[in-house]
Amino acid sequence: MAEVSDPQSPRADRDVPAWHSQNADAAFEHWGTSREGLTAEQAEERLAHYGPNQLRPPERAGVLRRFLRHFHNVLIYILLVAALGTALLGHWVDTGVILAVVLINTLIGFVQEGKAEKALDAIRRMLSPRALVARGGERREIPAEQLVPGDIVYLQAGDRVPADLRLFETKNLRLEEAALTGESVAVEKDTAAVEPEAGLGDRRGMAFSGTLVAFGRGMGVVVASGEHTEIGRISTMLGEVEGLETPLVRQMEQFGHWLAAVIVVLALATFAFGYWVRSYPLDEMFLAAASLAVSTIPEGLPAIMTIALAIGVQKMARCNAIIRRLPAVETLGSVSTICSDKTGTLTRNEMTAQTLRTATREILVSGVGYAPQGQFSEDERDIDPDDDPLLNQVLRAGLLCNDARLYEKDGDWVMEGDPTEGALITLARKAGLDLHLEGERLPRTDVIPFESDHRYMATLHHDHEGHAWIFLKGAPERVLELCSEQQVDGETREALDPDHWHAAMEAVAARGQRLLAVAVREAEADGGELRFDDVEAGGFTLLALVGIIDPPREEAIRAVADCRAAGIDVKMITGDHLATARAIGEQLGLGRDAEARAGHELDALDDAALAEIAERTDVFARTSPEHKLRLVKALQTGGRIVAMTGDGVNDAPALKRADVGVAMGGKGTEAAKEASEMVLADDNFASIAHAVEEGRTVYDNIRKAILHMLPTNAGQSLTIMMAILMGLALPLTPVQVLWVNMVTSVTLAMALAFERAEPGVMQRPPRAPNAPLLSGFLLWRIPFVALLLWAGTFGHFVYMESLAGVADEVARTVAINTLVAGQAFYLLNLRLIHQPVLPGGELFRSRAMWLAIGVLVVLQLAFTYVPLMHTLFGTTAIGADDWARILAFGLAVFVIVELEKLVVRQVIARRRGVAPQAV
């Protein structure tokens, strides 16, 4: 290519040819390309020259800004005031410790947030789009970022346009250009040149990067990539960058602010009371009030919640469920209905044609998978396809009306394209037909590709003697409508006998086979284009029905059972035939209770009747994307939280409407992915079930973090407040409070974010979507444990002070270790929220917990025995008998909470009317 002027270079901006005002040939010529596309070498050279087809990622706040942001927090403000206060009072050690704590806290927050962000970045990268191009004369799918000027790009409904294209072929192409022009109505495109002055919205011959193909298809040559595209000039990467905030985290943050305000008031009141009523010295009271505030505010909670969410997202990604919107993690935990496609999601999508039904015969085909090895038989006798003209006609039609590819690679047969079509290629090759040969004899001039809306595919072919044919294949009901005759043998046709075909369809579908009908019609020899009207005019001759098996995935059968155990209804919504859907549904363990329904039955129902049917029915067949949307709405009116799968551009409204839209990563369009909360990398139903389990676990872990932090904080503040009310020496000095807060939140509470799923997580019903986070149970458990911790800490302190008569340092060191031991043992209780942790050794299944406790023990020993700590925190060494009492208290907390679970479980079970094991 002559790189005379470089129109991609910003410097040459003024010389950029106005591609929209020239015809497509100008673009071909300028970029030295053809319909065959660039060669691999050209593409490589240009990639090196022009760089990847990517937009600048949006600017991130700098490291320093992000770090400083962590100081913007009520707790930090209180601590800074306390540091200032201690400095003014001349307590330099305290000032130093407080400032160190501030720094360590912010550092930990900063590092953890960075990790969570990284995890999400990695996940975003998994979603990078792909583009279908012609390279070296072959159609290939490549990552969109490898596109270069001169590449030939194919567009089809649902694609996001990957670069700026000069269109040179269009078929009913309509683009939704809202990303660029703000206009949400899709614009009709063609290949004509327009005035150079035309605005972006009027440049009909162009497809701009970032816009969406709403309908039809087209081909274009890349004229600008990356930042040189129109969208690249006006913005950085589109939308996408999701924050780490979710409704739950926000709710908790708000709760935190509210709590902080109450605590500050409480601290001021305590200060006033202590100073004026109890006559504590001013500096001591100031520090006491500050430590009270610091000990009560659950400052680490939002951070821990975010980390729990990020870990959940990472684990889901490992199970092939990629979260696009973080709040979906929470919603997943309360999903009560999953509506799933059948083909490829519940089934394997490895299709093999097994049955052929013609007007008079049934032919069976052996063999599995895509390997073209198998026999044709009729009435249990092998037949030779070469001697069978009708069979040949059927197979040829299936082979030509086809866009899939089948080839052998390293001894394996690889299929690319639509598996339904792949099965037809294998079938034809079993009879020795060759696509190249057939294609040369009857070259294709045009095509109407398959879409779920019209449910057929048609191709127009011309031979070299001036004849033309339209081959049609599709859902049998649709094809039947368009046929008037049926082929009886190689020569003879007769009038169509619909009853015969309907009976044949029922019989084949009842075996769980997917159905396809194949038909043919002679066409006008001079027409080069195939329009919908040509096909809809009918008059086809029906050749045969093809029955294709697509067995259910083993893991999907298990996942359906898991979902049912978890109180989640699974509904299969498929475009397939009713009888096929029913048979597959049965194999999957669905639809035992109610009738399967077909899409057209739903059309007659009003919304109320539909809601009732939707609730009872598990299998919906012959549905269109509109039915999906109606079904989601109907299920939602019944109070259900719905996850819905989809892949096509027309599924987008249903995916958006669903509480959790789930797009297929493999066969899904960009439009479907962008409308969804979650993308399945492996298109597998089982991954949705895993994601639900993970969602429930994340929610459990967040509850556990709350169940741990709030009572331990409340226990600490009660200890301080009671001492002041009773006029005693403070059981914990402010810096000691800071220490306890810091070490327990980085060890114990953090461990909860990493907790594995509870064993019964998929045996309980979904969480009610409107259930408050602070449920009745939490409102009981939090004060209960708070009082328990307070009683132990305060009691032990008073005992040491008054009965044992030791120095304040000793009593304090003992009190602090008592508090920490209580918190550590209580952490063990939290391995399971409601169930006992000892049976089955569940207690020992959590590595994170034991690791956290191990670290905590080391830190507490240092706190108690290292001389530097004595200076900084005013602690001192304590004796073995003290430790014995401390551990006895910890153990008591553990036992008491286990006993409390026993009682609470009974209460909850009685209220819900279930067995205590099911709580």
Cβ atoms 864, 877 nearer than 8 A:
yes
Q: Which is nearer to ligand ATP, 151 or 418 (CB)?
A: 418
Unique residue bearing structure tokens 């063609």: 190
User: And the tokens for 824?
Assistant: 């550590």
Region from 35-43, 158-166, 360-368, 418-426 binding ligand ATP, contact rule CB under 6 A = 418-426
Which one-letter DSSP state was computed for residue 61? P
Amino acid identity for residue 639 in this structure? G
Query: Which CB atom, from 70 or from 600, has the smaller least distance to ligand ATP?
Result: 600
Residue 137 CB-density burial (10 A; 0-12 exposed, 13-18 middle, 19+ buried) = exposed
Asked if 477 touches ligand ATP (CB under 6 A), the answer is no
* Residue closer to ligand ATP (CB basis): 456 or 469: 456
3-state helix, strand, coil in the chain (%, to 5): 50, 15, 30
Tell me which stretch binds ligand ATP (CB under 6 A): 325-333, 453-461, 491-499, 789-797.
Answer: 453-461
Indicate whether 576 belongs to the interface with ligand ATP (CB under 6 A).
yes
- Part of the chain binding ligand ATP (CB under 6 A), chosen from 314-322, 417-425, 743-751, 755-763: 417-425
Minimum distance from CB of 451 to ligand ATP (Å)? 8
For 130-173, what is the HEC assignment? Answer: EEEEEECCEEEEEEHHHCCCCCEEEEECCCECCCEEEEEEEEEE
With a CB cutoff of 8 Å and minimum separation 6, the contacts of 278 are 724, 727
**Interaction of residue 575 with ligand ATP, rule CB under 6 A:** yes
Q: Does 574 bind ligand ATP (CB under 6 A)?
A: yes
**Least CB distance to ligand ATP at residue 623 (A):** 7
Specify the pairing of strand 569-573 against strand 337-340.
Answer: parallel
Which residues are annotated as catalytic?
341
| Other Cβ atoms within 10 Å of 136 Cβ, number | 13
The amino acid present at 331, given as its one-letter code, is T
Of 260 and 543, which CB lies nearer to ligand ATP in the complex structure?
A: 543
Residue 417 CB, nearest approach to ligand ATP (Å)? 9
- Out of 145, 418, 670, 882, name the contact with ligand ATP by CB under 6 A: 418
For residues 152 and 543, which CB has a smaller minimum distance to ligand ATP in the complex? 543
Q: Exactly one of 271, 456, 685, 825 binds ligand ATP (CB under 6 A); which one? A: 456
Q: Among residues 106, 343, 487, 669, which is the contact residue for ligand ATP, using CB under 6 A?
A: 343
H or E element in which residue 29 lies: helix 24-30
What are the angstrom distances between the C-alpha of 366 and each of 369, 372, 380, 426?
10, 10, 12, 11
Nearer to ligand ATP, 514 or 582 (CB): 514
Binding residue for ligand ATP, selected from 193, 259, 457, 750, defined by CB under 6 A: 457
| Nearest alpha-carbon partner for 156 in 451, 589, 464, 389 | 451
> In whole angstroms, what is the distance from residue 485 CA to residue 497 CA?
8
d(CA 676, CA 43): 33
- By beta-carbon proximity to ligand ATP, the closer residue of 577 and 640 is 577
Q: Does 591 bind ligand ATP (CB under 6 A)?
A: no
Provide, rounded to whole angstroms, the least separation between the CB of residue 421 and ligand ATP.
5
Size of the site for ligand ATP (CB under 6 A): 21
The smaller minimum CB distance to ligand ATP, of residues 311 and 404, is found at 404
- Angle, helices 776-798/808-829, rounded to nearest 10 degrees: 150
Residue 342 as a binder of ligand ATP (CB under 6 A): the answer is: yes
Interactions with ligand ATP, residue window 503-522 (CB under 6 A): 514-516
Joined tokens for residue 841: 């050794």
CB of 583 to ligand ATP, least distance (A): 13
What's the min distance (Å) between Cβ of 163 and ligand ATP?
Answer: 28
Q: How many helices (H) and strands (E) does the chain have?
A: 32, 28
Look up residue 213 and give its two tokens: 């193909």
Start-to-end CA distance of the chain, whole Å, equals 71
Instruction: Tell me which of 151, 421, 618, 674 binds ligand ATP, using CB under 6 A.
Output: 421
Neighbouring C-beta atoms of residue 414, cutoff 10 Å: 12
d(CA 623, CA 339): 12
Alpha carbon separation from 564 to 276, 570, 893 (Å, rounded): 64, 7, 37
Interacting stretch for ligand ATP, rule CB under 6 A, among 471-479, 533-541, 859-867, 883-891?
471-479
Nearer to ligand ATP, 447 or 730 (CB): 447
Residues 6+ apart with CB under 8 A from 156: 132, 213, 216, 217, 449
Q: Decide whether 331 or 355 has the Cβ nearer to ligand ATP.
A: 355
Q: What are phi and psi of 317, to 5 degrees?
A: -60, -35
- Find the part of the chain contacting ligand ATP (CB under 6 A) among 184-192, 455-463, 770-778, 791-799: 455-463
Binding segment (CB under 6 A) for ligand ATP, from list 415-423, 524-532, 649-657, 688-696: 415-423
Measured from the CB atom, the residue of 164 and 651 that comes closer to ligand ATP is 651
Is residue 271 at the binding interface for ligand ATP, with CB under 6 A as the rule?
no
Q: List the one residue from 291, 295, 426, 452 that touches ligand ATP (CB under 6 A).
A: 452
User: Which helix H or strand E contains 389, and what residues bound it?
Assistant: helix 389-400
Q: Which of 450, 685, 790, 794 binds ligand ATP (CB under 6 A)?
A: 450
Instruction: Name the minimum Å distance from CB 324 to ligand ATP.
Output: 21
Does 582 contact ligand ATP by CB under 6 A?
Answer: no
473 touches ligand ATP by CB under 6 A: yes
Candidate residues 474, 585, 715, 792; the one interacting with ligand ATP per rule CB under 6 A: 474
Q: Give the residue nearest to ligand ATP (CB).
A: 575
Secondary structure element (H or E) that encloses residue 821, with its range: helix 808-829
Does residue 553 touch ligand ATP according to CB under 6 A?
Answer: no
Letter string b/e over residues 564-585, b meaning 16 or more CB atoms within 10 A of that residue's CB: eebebbbbbbbbbbbbbbbbbb
- Single-letter code of the amino acid located at 786: A
CB 463: neighbour CB atoms within 10 A? 12
Tell me the closest approach of the beta carbon of residue 495 to ligand ATP, in angstroms. 24
From candidates 70, 124, 455, 531, binder to ligand ATP by CB under 6 A: 455
For residue 159, which of 121, 119, 132 has the smallest C-alpha distance? 132
Rounded Cα distance, 655 and 661, in Å: 4
| CB of residue 602 to ligand ATP, shortest distance in Å | 15
Among the residue ranges 57-65, 196-204, 413-421, 729-737, the one whose residues contact ligand ATP (CB under 6 A): 413-421
Closest separation between CB of residue 648 and ligand ATP, Å? 8
Contact residues for 583 (Cβ-Cβ < 8 A; gap 6+): 509, 510, 511, 512
**Nearest approach, Cβ of 545 to ligand ATP (angstroms)?**
10
d(CA 667, CA 670): 10
Q: Which of 224, 475, 691, 721 binds ligand ATP (CB under 6 A)?
A: 475
| Binding piece for ligand ATP, criterion CB under 6 A, among 245-253, 281-289, 568-576, 669-677 | 568-576
Which residue in 346, 212, 220 sits closest to 669, CA to CA? 212
Q: Which stretch binds ligand ATP (CB under 6 A): 188-196, 364-372, 570-578, 714-722?
A: 570-578
Output phi, psi for 522, to 5 deg.
Answer: -75, 150
CB 85 within 8 A of CB 286: yes
CA 875 – CA 867 distance, rounded (Å)? 9
Q: Are 202 and 9 in contact (CB under 8 A)?
A: no
Nearer to ligand ATP, 94 or 341 (CB): 341
Nearer to ligand ATP, 477 or 801 (CB): 477
Q: Tell me which residues in 299-318 interact with ligand ATP (CB under 6 A).
A: none
Interaction site with ligand ATP (CB under 6 A): 341-343, 418, 420-421, 450, 452, 455-457, 473-475, 514-516, 574-577
